[in-house]
Structure 1
């Protein structure tokens, strides 16, 4: 716990990593001594640990979460002429990766309660060009897995998980990373499981797919001949020091997530009635990467929080289909568009204490 009496930061990465400083220094010295900064033994160790944590067979460490999505699509042969269904309410990286793979993102609306992909909207968007559905486990909550995976099965589509914000989340008892053809994770420093820089992973129980992703991410090299390049690949690999840091942090992920759930419970008990937390699906075990509420007075709320020295954010103020990068989308997606004007992200981190939640809620009472 931080026990701070000063500002309530939106996210304090120094505090999050403070109690691991000695262990991180030991890990760094080990990497310095063996000199395998890329592809060292730390990478294979973390891949094995994280695959087991996700109850999946394979994990391939890559450079970041965006690359992870693109590599999955490319490994599945999805590209030019194909369409991929994505929710409008997500970080732009989801759609960005689809475009980078050569496919066309098709944006669909979200559920009004959880703000996650609406399975009915996804079903309505399927056509002969559709190749995949990317279910984004946003804010720390998994999508409605049974509906979306069964839709994908019926239509012969790949169901892919964007699990960048859902390390340790579950739906119906199944962990993120185990319910799709493959899952993309990000280890950006602010994630529930965050590295000390960029990092990502592809997790899948399809061993052949994992092998293809690994080769694509390593310049298309053959498995047993580094001078033979069998695929038109790229350079997207997880560094040894990042893998070492992730291995140190993984054992405490579940307890950190439990603390996040406790903090969110306190928010629900203490927030003024004009601030409504985004709903949790009864079948979901949320890990609250973000504490998102809806309010009709976001501008005033932001001003009140700033005046009280409380950090806050908006995730995300412009839905993907309205971003200039994806101009040409004529669809109106009213639920995502309305939510984008109302959502507000409050501080939530395992380093916050109960008094921090009280201070945040007190700052909002006059709004």
Structure 2
């Protein structure tokens, strides 16, 4: 018997490989993989998401693209959008056709998790944020101990959940190896990719590249007010013939972008995982990373990249020099180890297998309780 699975995505952005955030990309690839396997899966997302047979639109158009650029430019208006999300997700939970399916919540809106727990629905919540997020504390205050136990939390890295007070298990992210291709042909650039906010640390990557005298290609795009302000003040003035802006890198061109000397992951704040790390390594590209997110769980020091103490720009410079000093044969061996590590430990297939185990466990428990 197949387990009926409902993956519930964020509706602010379209869900799919071209989405600006890792959360929407995660939902798309997991749903696509389960659909390909013939599982009973539905993906609840916005109607302008990447098309899959299992897509069930919660809204016709993602909330971001239903608003004007002027509206989105003001961060205060995002609070208004949150209330729109509340109403849509409340309606979803009230729909009885969803009550006999395993609900897999993947979003930064905690209302549907709260409502589903109150109704005793079978569910899990993959934690895409840091566990110190206020939302988890609020959930713990509003739900009884028994209701909190009914929420199956999934962490995406051990570091993320090390102080999490509720029951959880860890399932690392995985990438679809068909979309990220290994190659021995790569550019002589170092690369950085992410959102233009101070927390993502693009400024540190630029500072390190300048100190090392290396070329750096930057993938990213400024859209809302705080991103534009950060880009104009901290990134744009640093651009030159060696520090170049690539712009937003679409998912179908990421494999080409990642074919570089090394990725710099220089996040200034802790992260839940850091999806770009495994995307780059799937393409054979070593990663130089601050010890944040899942970096220490993915990167094998000196074998597939280098782990640097957080905020140590000189440490980034030193690692860049180590990459440059590797003999060609050793560097190519490092690239092969990167790909092999992702194939063995961080593929989409492995991730989907682990989620299916959890879905089955939750569903069998639900049926058992229902029959009593």
Structure richer in helix, relative to its length: 2
If the length of structure 2 is used for normalisation, what is the TM-score?
0.28
**Larger relative contact order (C-alpha < 8 A, sep ≥ 6)?**
1
